[in-house]
A and B are shown apart, each in its own frame.
Chain A
Amino acid sequence: MTAAFSRFLRTDWFGPLAIIVVASIGISIFDPSFLSPFNIQILLLAASVNCLIAMSQMVIIAIGQMNLAIGAIGGLSAICFAGLMQVWGFPPILAAAAGLAIGVAAGLINGYLIARTGISAFIITLASLSIFKGADLGITRAQPFYGIPVSVKAFGNTTIFGPIPWLALPTATVVAGMWYLLYRQRIGRYILAVGGNANAAELSGISIARTVISAHAISGFLAALAGIMLVARLQLGQPSIGDDWLILSFAAPVIGGAALSGGHVSVFGTLFGVVIVAIITQALVIFHIDPYFVEVVLGLLILWAVGVNRLREVRFQNVTRAA
């Protein structure tokens, strides 16, 4: 019993989950409507899209890099999705496929440039952020696409049953898929191996270039999916989609226990990290605090999470040394 419990304590997702439970109980004491079906639906809507954004960054954190361009990729895919439907009358499925293809292509370009030039991911994605964002604004002239089909709008704003929105469906699939990928698929293990010790991975015969490119392609795909889902939820193809993703994309994986140096991420920890961010956002509304302070809170949260991870790492090392 105690052994099993201490194992839970050491998992990456236990801490965030405990915070979620405690915070939910705490907030609902002040305001019982916090746990109302309607509010839970709002929470899930926000978390569904944000979770994809976080996963998109998480897979890059796993290889020990960072992707500054996920917002730009998501925005570009979003307006392509919306634009194809409005301007050329593409059916939603086809437009979504095209949007996702653009996300994957953008990721492939990032990955290819990083792997082949050896320039740091920070610089490459900083440059491509500007390029993708520029393309987005150039195509739209900064004007939204309004011609979103009813079916797409419905997908973004209705529920399957109870408070569960349709948007949660792709996200749940992605979470399960990411777990399967990172813990049970070769490419996922390679991603974590390259993040953990790139030199060792290469000497074992793993292609670092292919692994890096794959990770960026996955990241691009997830960013595109997030962008497309946001179009459905907002009911318009807003060119500014993706502008505010960056902080969140780092906050959630880090709260979930990811090592920014690479090689270690937690899918469920990241999911719970997203939920924590959503709860904080809601709590600020409930307690009548200016929602613009969300960014301040997120920043503090990142610092706190990095600090906690660091502490756990140091303690872990000391424990193993003493053993």
Chain B
Amino acid sequence: MSSTLSLEARGIQKAFPGVLALQDVTLTMRGGSIHALLGENGAGKSTLIKIITGVYRPDDGELRLNGAPVRFEGPRDAIAAGVGVVHQERNLIPRFSVGENILLERLGGGLMRPIDYDAVHTEARRWLEVLELDLDPRTPVSQLNVAKVQLVEIAKALSLRSRVLLLDEPTASLTPQEAEVLFRLLRKLRDEGASLLFVSHKLEEVQQICDEVTVLRDGRNACPSRPMAGLGRQDLVRLMIGRNEQIPDWPPSDHSRSERMLALKNVSTALGHVDIDLTVRRGEIVGLYGLVGAGRTELAKCILGLYPLTVGEIEIAGRPERIAGVADAIHRCGIGYISEDRKQEGLILAHTVLENAGITIWRKLAGRFGLLRDEAVRAHVSPVIAELEVRAPSLAQIVGNLSGGNQQKISVAKWLAAGVRILIVDEPSVGIDIKTKAYIHELLRRLADQGTAILLITSDMPEMITVADRIVVMDDYRIKGELANSRHYTQMGEGIMALIHARDAA
């Protein structure tokens, strides 16, 4: 087997019921290069990756490895041919150890020869060390945080010694330091002759490490595979969305005299938050910044009444309230929560747009005997769906078939329909393309201007600085401080980081 392997996808076509996901798509990956695959959500990146790795079979077109046509009947064929992948979805067995997950399909052993777990864990440790990951391979995956899980998946893909390695948003949950380790490793693999495909929404990363690029738009090549040299950020954005990126320039606004819609006073929670003081005023967007694991989502869940407070109280519109649970939060207190995990917590993928967007108002609209008429729901939901420009053929469309951006719009829509006064938005643009992201930002601003109090949780610093009026920094389940947003990127970034690292000095 030669040390470099080039992979070519030619004229790939793939249709799903109702959607032509890929149309005549071509991708050429050379050995010894890191190839960026760019495109908005729904452009077909993940579908193309799944075709290259044998998860899907193309309707038309062919794959070539080193010039020879290949056909993968399943992931196993692709792995055997030296094509490895880190998928976007988390793909580990939670109850199994890190080591067993890494070597899952190569555990060895036979009928009379039990699996040698010492050997498995020793081998796994090697791959963790390659990633400079100080982790006991015997730890169950269920005990790892998101970033570690991501790195273990990368270790798993590396352990296959794939000559073609595809990474679908590998840095989505990594800190900059962790990402840097990964990039060093990718460069090393490239220098050893591997073909790497890198998918990311963070264009800075892409420009930093990729030397070739293919852009997809609406399931077609927006550009054929070409060198990265000569392409600037704006060129990439134009290829991806067909127009220039627009950075909104909202004037800073002062809300310090508006009504306090949500106030946490000296709150400690059962999940481990200590002395949390937080205020969100009418018309204000307060950003809650922190690294993954800082306790922000957990705080949101405590506000929603999912976990009890141990100390302190929550005031809604100036009145102390005991929030008994999510239903209470929505219907009595008017608090909506847009989950970071759309697929698990935000939407019922198998249900229609109408059912998803209307779920929060069923209780309000249900007539005598709890009878619920579709027309009543439709009357409330339709204007919101139209306002959000959801691209769905009809309200009867199954949400699972929509793109990530449109799914996110639906999860916003259901709270708009409910008419909440306080909206907690958790990582609204994870897995969302640039165009929809800008749209979501504008939408949040508009909602705030109409009087909604918004608590925005995000790890995306540019997003925070674009949207928030005030930024509260959280680390290790405590509030570390607060900054008025000057919309000055460098200054704010430094201020936030200084607050996070303040604990080291203390």
Contact = CB atoms under 8 A, between A and B. Distances in A.
Interface of A: 180, 184-186, 189, 192-193, 196-197, 199-207, 263-264, 316, 318, 320-323
Interface string B380-419: 0000000000000000000000000000000000000000
Contacts of A189: 96, 100, 104, 107, 115
B268 to A, nearest CB: 13
Given A180-B114, A186-B115, A322-B271, A203 B87 contact: yes
A192 B96 contact: yes
Greatest chain B CB density within 10 A among A199, A202, A204, A207 is at A204
In order of increasing CB-CB distance, the 9 nearest A-B pairs are A184-B114, A205-B76, A200-B91, A196-B93, A205-B105, A204-B104, A204-B105, A320-B143, A193-B93
11 contacts: A185-B114, A186-B115, A192-B93, A196-B94, A197-B93, A200-B93, A202-B75, A203-B55, A205-B74, A264-B95, A316-B142
A115 B109 CA distance: 26
B96 A205 contact: no
Nearest to B80: A205
A320 B142 contact: yes
Contact of A193 (B55, B96, B114, B142): B96
B111 A185 contact: yes
Given A205-B75, A206-B105, A184 B115 contact: yes
Contacts of A322: 271-272
Contacts of B114: 180, 184-185
B346 to A, nearest CB: 19
Interface string B102-134: 001101110100110000000000000000000
Greatest chain A CB density within 10 A among B85, B142, B270 is at B142
Contacts of B108: 186
Secondary structure of the A side of the interface?
helix
A20 to B, nearest CB: 25
A208 to B, nearest CB: 10
A263 B75 contact: no
Interface string B67-93: 000000011100110000101011111
B95 A192 contact: yes
A44 B114 CA distance: 30
B460 interface: no
Given A180-B114, A207-B76, A263-B94, 4 more contacts: A189-B100, A318-B270, A320-B142, A320-B143
Contact of A199 (B85, B89, B142): B89
A318 B91 contact: no
B161 to A, nearest CB: 14
Contact of A205 (B79, B93, B271): B79
A203 B101 CA distance: 12
B218 interface: no
A15 B95 CA distance: 20
A264 B298 CA distance: 27
B442 to A, nearest CB: 34
A5 B93 CA distance: 27
Contacts of B55: 203
Interface string B258-277: 00000000000011100000
Nearest to A197: B93
Nearest to A200: B91
Given A185-B111, A189-B100, A322-B272, A203 B91 contact: yes
Nearest to B89: A199
B95 to A, nearest CB: 5
B248 to A, nearest CB: 36
A11 B108 CA distance: 26
Given A184-B114, A186-B115, A207-B76, A199 B298 contact: no
Contact of B91 (A199, A207, A320, A321): A199
Given A202-B75, A204-B104, A320-B142, A185 B109 contact: yes
B256 to A, nearest CB: 35
A203 B95 contact: no
A197 B85 CA distance: 17
B95 A196 contact: yes
A201 B93 contact: yes
A193 B94 contact: no
Contacts of B53: 203
A192 B95 CA distance: 9
